[in-house]
Structure 1
């Protein structure tokens, strides 16, 4: 989610949440609310509202985690099943041992996937460099690191009543701030200047270095 786009849309976001929440109410007061159902409903409402107002962020560069998603899901599913056994039988030492092994296996598997992915990528990039394929070399670098994007942090206005989100307003605010800061005339007392300790003149500093 591109959450930074929600700045300045707090009221609209709140109204949309209330609208979706009212639409999801089933109107039945006799049923006992289930915490899991309410949590899932709240999660879906938040995701739907944020996606509609802020949009979905798309990945623009390669990542070892995404490219090994299927294998990672297998490791996590095994770890998850072992954890559920521990929750069902907290006193089962065998279940706890299986869970610890599953955690260790998942961690080792993730590290191995990451290491292999970076090794293969380095070999591929080095091959482009060795063969003089400059275009493919820089394309490989851009695919990993991608272009850099700077997110402009919002800034309060001078009176504190408005939130500045666009670049032009923020730059105008800083120009006004520093303009007032340096244009302000300050009175310096002569007594304060006389209290500054004076040092003897060092004429040897005028000589050229040797």
Structure 2
């Protein structure tokens, strides 16, 4: 090799890969060109500060003369995604070591009908006690009749629960019932694609008519450690996690070290100007609205489960924008968008000049 990356671990990796390539009659084409370090490596390690190459280009030995140049093109996603994966693995391994695995709560048919089942069992046990105390034909017939009724009601509850869990859905034509799992998932994807990916109706002319304000350079500052802590405290602990299954509770009780690592990661994202792919991917879960036909997709509400770290970053951005918008851009009547105000505060505002005040009909007002 004429040239290679500066880090020893990269050289060792190249040596191992070169040995494997010699056995398969291949060449590592990345190592034959004298280029700057930024074009020989993909990213720099955050702790050792050694340049590393993530991907290599292999060519047949006979085709070496046909290759003119090979260089590495760095991408922001290669840095931020790798940093996010490291942070995710550390948090997951630490939580597993300290907290252990949570016991999975299985859904059973009797959980949804616990009150009705308890009432039926109380009635049956009462008749059974009466039959044991006084063995007559009347008490025996009443007990056996109640026992049959309880068994029948329990079977009906179980069958109804199973039907709800395995309910079919209708196709887009409104007539075809889909029963296969793959077709049902495809139908859900088609439905949410039409609901969520709607084109905007705002024109550029309407945007140009908006009043322009001076540029606020403070919005370009890197996210700070106090801003990260504030964003974590503002998000509820009951927020459902995304694909990495890291709940909000771990971030709240992770301590200062986790907040420092999270802030450093957000600052690197800010410098690169791009976010990891995990922040963009979402898991969509549909919930029945409890009205209308269960088989219609329109009667279900879709909820997007996002990465918790991405929600923290979004909360930091929201706090920055909220403070900027309050400076003369929001009206006093927009209480729901202002800090330390609620939407109900508008009720207690005085009426506008010249506008009559409406009072509810009471005996005093009707005099």
Structure whose residues are more often helix by fraction = 1
> In terms of Rg, which structure is larger?
2
* Structure with greater contact order relative to length (CA < 8 Å, sep ≥ 6): 1
Shared fold, TM over 0.5: no
TM-score interval w.r.t. the shorter chain? Answer: 0.3 to 0.5
After TM superposition, the score normalised by the length of structure 1 is 0.33
Structure whose residues are more often strand by fraction = 2
